[in-house]
Amino acid sequence: MTKYKRQADGYFHTRVWDGTYDDKGRKHYKELRSNKSSKDLENKVQLHKEAINQGKYVVKSDVLFRDYALQWLHTYKANASYNTRRMYQNIIDKHLDVIVTPVSMLSRSCLVTVADASKGMRTRQQIVLTLKQICKCALRDKLISQATFDDIFTDTIKVKYKSPEKRALYDYEKDAIKKARFDDTEKVFVTILYYCGLRRGEAIALTRKDIDFKTNSLTVNKAVYFDDNTPVIKDTKNGVHRIVPIPNEAILTLKRYSDNLATENLFHMSDGRLMTKSSFTKMWRRIINKLNKVAKQPIEDLTPHIFRHNYCATLCGQIPTISINRIAELLGDSKQMVIEVYNHDIAPKEKVFDVINNVF
């Protein structure tokens, strides 16, 4: 049985991938045909595949890898978050900068050499990730062949890296938070982290208008990131805006602070402008020092984000009184994230045997 059928125009037709991609990353196809036989067309297809593997469809270019990498960063990652762009820039500047060949001369040895020179599994993971994205772009731009791409990344370096497990506050940290003698600004910042679960940038961006004492809630619709030392207002992570209830324990602290503010920004410099990175760093250092003065054991690795994990873990402990969907809404994250990150908190609350016995 022949593989291809002769069409009305007298030719055998087929569409084959030409080894390149369009601007949206989809494979680009071309048409091959023969007026002789199905077998002749099969031979043409085979020759075409061999040509792709030999890189005959690659555009000749002497653009250097570093120049292309920076072009990729500024073009394709322009809308990425500040921290993401900084990560890519750091990988290019400190690790991929040793690749001094043209893009067309990239090889597997480039990846192995760069990865082997790096310290730390997380850095190796980021190097492989960054180089792979740049090479995918080069493949779409026809600067490297599919064969070259496959040679570099098939059976690529396996990077076994696992992020540190997210943790909640330890009991001795919670005890120290209640006893520490914070100033007003420090106390309000810790209160917002502890009782509302905001990200650091979301808390720093808060204004008096974001707090509604009639409904005892605060609105999270923006965040701050630091461009070096300068605070810059941006949208929240994933563009998710939310309203978060303020527990009764926190209302009085926030109300007194808000009533005495001489500026709109909750956390600010002496002139009322948003807090800079250096000012935040100093404030956080003071917070840790004051906690350590009253803590039963040293507090060393405490970060604002741990307060957020504590908030989520505390709410997870109240399932099914509160749903996972609602917890995700309060965090401004997805339900899947809550399940993946906090499943170790959720699972012990599930009374599987009781449920099955009651149902049946």
Burial of 316 (0-12, 13-18, 19+ CB in 10 A): buried
pLDDT at 287: 97
R_g over Cα of the chain:
28
pLDDT at 44: 86
Q: Which tokens is 40 given? A: 């002749």
Topology annotation, domain 171-348: hpI Integrase; Chain A (1.10.443)
pLDDT at 25: 63
pLDDT at 1: 66
3-state helix/strand/coil string of the chain: CCCCCECCCCCEEEEEEEEEECCCCCEEEEEEEECCCHHHHHHHHHHHHHHHHCCCCCCCCCCEHHHHHHHHHHHHCCCCCHHHHHHHHHHHHHCHHHCCCEHHHCCHHHHHHHHHHCCCHHHHHHHHHHHHHHHHHHHHCCCCCHHHHHHHHCCCCCCCCCCCCCCCCCHHHHHHHHHCCCCHHHHHHHHHHHHHCCCHHHHHCCEHHHEECCCCEEEECCEEEEECCEEEEECCHHHCCEEEECCHHHHHHHHHHHHCCCCCECCECCCCCECCHHHHHHHHHHHHHHHHHHCCCCCCCCCHHHHHHHHHHHHHCCCCCCCHHHHHHHHCCCHHHHHHHHHHHHHHHCCHHHHHHHHC
pLDDT at 142: 80
pLDDT at 220: 97
Helices 146-153, 38-53: inter-axial angle, 10-degree rounding: 60
Per-10-residue mean pLDDT of the chain, 360 residues long, equals: 84 81 69 88 85 66 90 88 88 91 86 81 87 90 82 68 75 96 97 96 96 96 92 90 95 95 94 95 97 95 94 86 89 82 60 66
Rounded distance between C-alpha atoms, residue 101 and residue 99, angstroms: 6
pLDDT at 55: 59
Rounded distance between C-alpha atoms, residue 304 and residue 96, angstroms: 32
Terminal-to-terminal C-alpha distance of the chain: 58
pLDDT at 355: 60
Rounded distance between C-alpha atoms, residue 52 and residue 44, angstroms: 12
The one-letter amino acid code at 336 reads Q
> Which CATH number describes the domain made up of 65-153?
1.10.150.130
**Within the chain, which residue ranges are assigned CATH 1.10.150.130?**
65-153
